[in-house]
Amino acid sequence: MSGNLKHNNKESGFSLHKLAHKFKTLALIAGFTFDLYILPPINTGKFWWVGPSYIGVIFFCIFMRQVFRRFINNGTFFALYNFHNFFYNTFSFLVSFFLGSLLAYSLIYYSSLSDIFSVWPIFVLILIAIILNETLKDKIFDVAIFMLAINFYFILNVPIFFHEVSNSSFYLSLLFAFIFNILMIRIIKWIYHEASHYIFYNIFLFLIPILIYGLYNFKYLPAVPLKLGDSGFYSYVEKVDNGIAANYYKENKGQKISTKLYGFLKETSFDSNKLQGNNLYFFSSVVSPQNTPIKSMISHSWEKYNLIAKSWEEKFSFNFPIYGNRLDGYRGYSLKTNIEKGEWRVRVLADDRVIGTRKVFIK
């Protein structure tokens, strides 16, 4: 039986069919915009139910759309064609709308946990998915986009559930997403089997995790759900109060100025002549959603920009573990001795994945 829906010549010029299929991008954007206003902060309890709610609604709408697609294409109860077509188009529109919301869920929360330089691959993937969703209408590409969003969802939430950011938690994320997606495809096939669509879905079932693993392997994915909190470069660091970090100090224009609990130093440059012993400290605070206890290995990778090679070169790396529950985040600092003049950056990594990057210029 053909996978194309039969058309009713008596159908009016305006219909949900046109809205759902010709303007699916508008539905995605509408859902995306909707999320900008209703998504709760990631550090609140409401964060936990948003993702499962979207996934449940989208799954239900795909299920019902497939039911009415079967009725229409098989000619079942043909007298009710307009009735079936109306609900098919309605559920198609709802799939697109809430899919846009789920994509926004991923992008907004990933962005809140990282900087734009770390999250840009996810933004590019979502943009490509939206373009293909508008282009490949007849293939119902939104199911493939849903599979992509499911992978993003598990990558964000599995480390929170298992309290660990590591290779193991990432691989578990891909495994859980794969199991969910293969069950969804089987249900779609069970409701109404269309060979061309089934092959299409299976291609993306394997292609998406392979693509995401490639981004992970080349360190293009941020280390969610960890986030870089207060951080900065300092010329002088002192620990007080019997080993409990209470105040750090910075030397600025010959004066020591106390900063409140690792306050962020806004200066982006230092005069090398004023650095004590030509040493520079970098402090970072790593936080997690709702102060969830997370275990991981944190690294400060000091890199200097090579003007000749026009690339960043790692000069020094300092590693330290984080574990347990810290209400104010996980804090640590590293020291670069005999720092040379030029442009420097420190990449804060969790299990070799970027949490954030800070730059400084040594004059």
Query: What gap in Å lies between CA 86 and CA 82, rounded to an integer?
Result: 6
Mean pLDDT of 274-283: 79
Within 8 A by CB and 6+ apart from 72, the residues are 5, 6, 81, 84, 85, 88
- Asked if the model's pLDDT at residue 18 lies above 60, the reply is no
For residue 263, the model assigns a pLDDT of 35
* Portion of the chain with pLDDT greater than 70, in percent: 75
Indicate the pLDDT class of residue 86, thresholds 50, 70 and 90.
confident
- Asked if the model's pLDDT at residue 289 lies above 80, the reply is no
Delineate the domains of the chain, giving CATH numbers in brackets: 16-217 (no CATH), 227-362 (2.60.40.1930)
Q: How many CA atoms lie within 13 A of 150 on its CB side?
A: 25
Query: What gap in Å lies between CA 150 and CA 174, rounded to an integer?
Result: 9
Q: What is the pLDDT of residues 98-110, one digit of tens each?
A: 888 888 888 888 8
- Asked if the model's pLDDT at residue 11 lies above 50, the reply is no
Please spell the DSSP secondary structure of 292-326, one letter per residue: ---BEEEEEEEEEEETTTTEEEEEEEEEEEE-S--
Mean pLDDT of 273-282: 78
Mean pLDDT of 185-191: 94
Instruction: Find, among 211, 200, 202, 42, the residue nearest to 121 by Cα.
Output: 211
What the block records as the tokens of 217 is: 């392997």
- Asked if the model's pLDDT at residue 255 lies above 50, the reply is no
Between 275 and 115, residue with greater pLDDT: 275
- Asked if the model's pLDDT at residue 240 lies above 60, the reply is no
For residue 279, the model assigns a pLDDT of 82
Between 294 and 314, residue with greater pLDDT: 314
For residue 57, the model assigns a pLDDT of 95
For residue 2, the model assigns a pLDDT of 41
Q: What is the pLDDT of residues 321-361, one digit of tens each?
A: 887 666 666 778 888 888 889 999 999 988 888 888 888 88
Query: What gap in Å lies between CA 221 and CA 287, rounded to an integer?
Result: 18
Give Cα separations from 226 to 109, 115, 149, 317 (angstroms): 11, 12, 19, 19
Query: What gap in Å lies between CA 37 and CA 114, rounded to an integer?
Result: 20
Q: What is the pLDDT of residues 67-84, one digit of tens each?
A: 888 888 876 665 576 777
- Asked if the model's pLDDT at residue 205 lies above 90, the reply is yes
Q: What is the pLDDT of residues 118-163, one digit of tens each?
A: 678 888 888 887 777 767 655 678 899 999 999 999 999 999 888 8
Between 239 and 66, residue with greater pLDDT: 66
